[in-house]
Structure 1
Amino acid sequence: MRREKDVPEQRAEDWAVTATGLIKRFEGKQVVGGVDLAVPRGAIYGVLGPNGAGKTTTLRMILGIIEPDEGYRTLLGCERPRDAGDRVGYLPEERGLYPAMKAREAIAFMGALRGLAWGEGRRRAADLLAQVGLAHAADEKIRKLSKGMAQLVQLLGSVVHRPDLIVLDEPFSGLDPVNQEKLEALILAERDRGATILFSTHVMAHAERLCDRLAIIAGGQRQFEGTVDDARATLPAQVHYQPRQPNPALAAQLPAGATPEGDGWRFAMPPDGIEPLLNRLIAAGHGIAGLTIERPTLHEAFVRIVGSVEDRRFADRKAAA
């Protein structure tokens, strides 16, 4: 059922995808427990989470492949997702191509399923294969391609009709570093063309490089939504401070939790910033021989967010036992 109050307070045309309170149960077990998403048009949006978090089920509900038990979603402004089917490109987690088809024909065939003329599909397929360095494989049968090459061919088939929204479920899984780089370049090119890209992953490096915004799902629920910088800001920066002269009295003037490291000390950035602390240390005669400030990575933020959910679930199970 639609809940108007939960729809993002912007114009409907600003969003490629909205989802409110999506819930899905399988055989009585809840695997998605009320996920909300709002994907801006023209953005690269990542859905991050550990294995089994409900990422694939959420994407399938958004696309209308399966129906939610509760909740509401729109896809490219359509309240029935399948009404927007020809404007969507989808790479499922389970890969599958006809092994006897040639690469160019496989791409053209997938475009034809979305309404693209066969001849135009073959022409675009040749261009796309060249774009990712696979022009030499255009007339090779799928069964003769490596796993990574076949996966790229299926991805090209998902974008050959130039969709407005591209949904990729764990697209980097199984790709070697060279093909991962090709895929990242293709995603950026599609974004620059004007498409919206929504992809799921549990590999933080890709999300950190690509995403304009992201959501972290754990325990079947959205635990975070925002930019990469927003996620990293959920943890304090780490400071490594090296005094000019070692002094036993220094430890008492550092923030709680400071630990020795090499010739200096490591501690979390104080809530009021580093400047007041440095002023006190200089005034006390400790000086500054070295100072580095390390911002948390997306991986570290992800581990903290997901780990806190797992800790709560463990505590709840223990209390119920």
Structure 2
Amino acid sequence: MANVLEVKGLGKRFKYGAIIENLSFHVKKGEIMAILGPNGAGKSTTIRSVLGILYPDEGEILYQGESIKKIPPKRIGYLPEERGLYKNVKVIDILLYFADLKDYPILKAKQRARFYLKKFGLEDKEKVRMEELSKGMGQKIQFIASIIHEPEILILDEPFSGLDPVSQELFRKEIKELADQGTAILLSSHQMNLIETLGDRLLFIHKGKEVVTGSIHDVKAQYSNYKCTIRGENTRSLLETIPMVDRIEQKNKTSILFLEKEVELTRWLSTLPKKLDIQELRLDRISLHDIFVSIASGGKDLAYEK
């Protein structure tokens, strides 16, 4: 399947230094590409370059295989991290205004607006002013505004921020449904648990550079370490006698042992000291959250082979 969006060798510098360097990735039709990284990694600069808000110093951006300076606005939808809708405007008017900005037919826009308002439980808010809505409701309206014109590419910057668990699940299902319908989605979020259930591929960036890229399955396979969580009264000195442990984290009565790669679990369990206080023990593979923390902190797990 052809790439809807492709970024090649992107670089952007400001007077205080490089923000992104030689960054490349692509998003196919119907694919959810997650771009992840700690604060200051260059995610926002990358997104703004794709949107044409910033012009990169190096590299190129291709839309449908053609190199362009800016993707046609009516082909792209954008939900920014910093929300901003006119407070004294009615919900239906703000949605139709955004559709008009994208040259989308007014009658179809009204139909889609009312469809999504009902879907998001806001059918009775059509003529309510934005300032009267809760933060979560306002976020739903801004999400609808980003997709009302049926974009081919959808960029979502922290879409789950500030949402309660029920609304997060609603957004997650809608994003997945949009991808199933063929929308190419570039997603930036710190909600690692939601990324794990949504993303097809990942791009981790750190200090403006690509660190890890690939499918979620492949990335987690490369970081295939296990972690052992033990609940009990145990000293760090006792835990440090256990072999094949890469690092230890402790909080209150909970200790997390991050195991080295290629550990044979059955044999490893037999090495646990008899003095170990085990009230509860759990073994599982490290999560996307753990990988993110490792990257953000510059841990040695960064030795990922692309």
**TM-score, length of structure 1 as denominator length:** 0.76
The amino acid of 1:303's aligned partner reads V
The 8 Å contact of residues 215 and 222 in structure 1, kept in 2 or not, is answered as yes
Shift of 1:160: 0.8
Shift of 1:69: 0.7
Distance 2:71 2:227 in 1: 49
Distance verdict in 2 for CA 1:114–1:81, change over 3 Å: farther
Q: Which residue of 1 aligns with 2:68?
A: 80
The 8 Å contact of residues 255 and 270 in structure 1, kept in 2 or not, is answered as no
More helix as a share of residues: 1
Q: What is the DSSP-based 3-state SS (H/G/I as helix, E as strand, rest coil) of the residue aligned with 1:216?
A: strand
Distance 2:162 2:261 in 1: 42
Map 1:82-231 → 2, pairs under 5 A: 82-231=70-219
Choose which of 283, 292, 300 in structure 2 pairs with 1:302. 292
The 8 Å contact of residues 7 and 25 in structure 2, kept in 1 or not, is answered as yes
Distance 1:151 1:257 in 2: 44
* Deviations 1:142-198 (CA, angstroms, capped at 9, x unpaired): 111112111110110110111111111122222232322221122112112211111
The 8 Å contact of residues 154 and 186 in structure 2, kept in 1 or not, is answered as yes
* Deviations 1:220-261 (CA, angstroms, capped at 9, x unpaired): 1111111223333324123689xxxxxxxxx99x843499xx
Q: What is the DSSP-based 3-state SS (H/G/I as helix, E as strand, rest coil) of the residue aligned with 1:65?
A: coil
* Deviations 1:50-79 (CA, angstroms, capped at 9, x unpaired): 111110110111222211011112133332
The 8 Å contact of residues 20 and 72 in structure 1, kept in 2 or not, is answered as yes
Distance verdict in 2 for CA 1:151–1:305, change over 3 Å: same
RMSD, aligned CA: 3.2
The 8 Å contact of residues 225 and 258 in structure 2, kept in 1 or not, is answered as no
Distance verdict in 2 for CA 1:49–1:111, change over 3 Å: same
Distance 1:231 1:156 in 2: 32
Map 1:23-102 → 2, pairs under 5 A: 23-102=11-90
Q: Does residue 1:17 correspond to 2:8, yes or no?
A: no
Distance 1:310 1:84 in 2: 42
The 8 Å contact of residues 64 and 80 in structure 1, kept in 2 or not, is answered as no
Q: What is the DSSP-based 3-state SS (H/G/I as helix, E as strand, rest coil) of the residue aligned with 1:82?
A: coil
Distance 1:270 1:28 in 2: 39
* Deviations 1:13-35 (CA, angstroms, capped at 9, x unpaired): 62122112211112242111221
Distance 2:17 2:261 in 1: 43
Unaligned runs of 5+ in 1: 1-12, 242-250, 282-289, 313-321
Distance 1:127 1:222 in 2: 39
The 8 Å contact of residues 76 and 84 in structure 1, kept in 2 or not, is answered as no
The amino acid of 1:112's aligned partner reads D
The number of residues matched between the two structures is 278
The 8 Å contact of residues 224 and 261 in structure 2, kept in 1 or not, is answered as no
The 8 Å contact of residues 226 and 259 in structure 2, kept in 1 or not, is answered as yes
Distance 2:265 2:300 in 1: 32
Q: What is the DSSP-based 3-state SS (H/G/I as helix, E as strand, rest coil) of the residue aligned with 1:79?
A: strand
Q: Does residue 1:236 correspond to 2:222, yes or no?
A: no
Distance 1:133 1:94 in 2: 23
Q: What is the DSSP-based 3-state SS (H/G/I as helix, E as strand, rest coil) of the residue aligned with 2:205?
A: strand
Distance verdict in 2 for CA 1:197–1:266, change over 3 Å: closer
Distance verdict in 2 for CA 1:270–1:188, change over 3 Å: closer
% identical equivalent positions: 35
Shift of 1:292: 5.9
The 8 Å contact of residues 219 and 309 in structure 1, kept in 2 or not, is answered as no
* Deviations 1:87-106 (CA, angstroms, capped at 9, x unpaired): 11111222221222211221
Shift of 1:84: 3.0
Distance 1:268 1:70 in 2: 41
The amino acid of 2:226's aligned partner reads A
The 8 Å contact of residues 152 and 184 in structure 2, kept in 1 or not, is answered as yes
Distance 1:128 1:22 in 2: 36
Q: What is the DSSP-based 3-state SS (H/G/I as helix, E as strand, rest coil) of the residue aligned with 1:67?
A: coil
Shift of 1:81: 4.8
Distance 1:309 1:294 in 2: 20
Distance verdict in 2 for CA 1:297–1:185, change over 3 Å: same
Q: What is the DSSP-based 3-state SS (H/G/I as helix, E as strand, rest coil) of the residue aligned with 2:74?
A: helix
Distance verdict in 2 for CA 1:229–1:133, change over 3 Å: same
More strand as a share of residues: 2
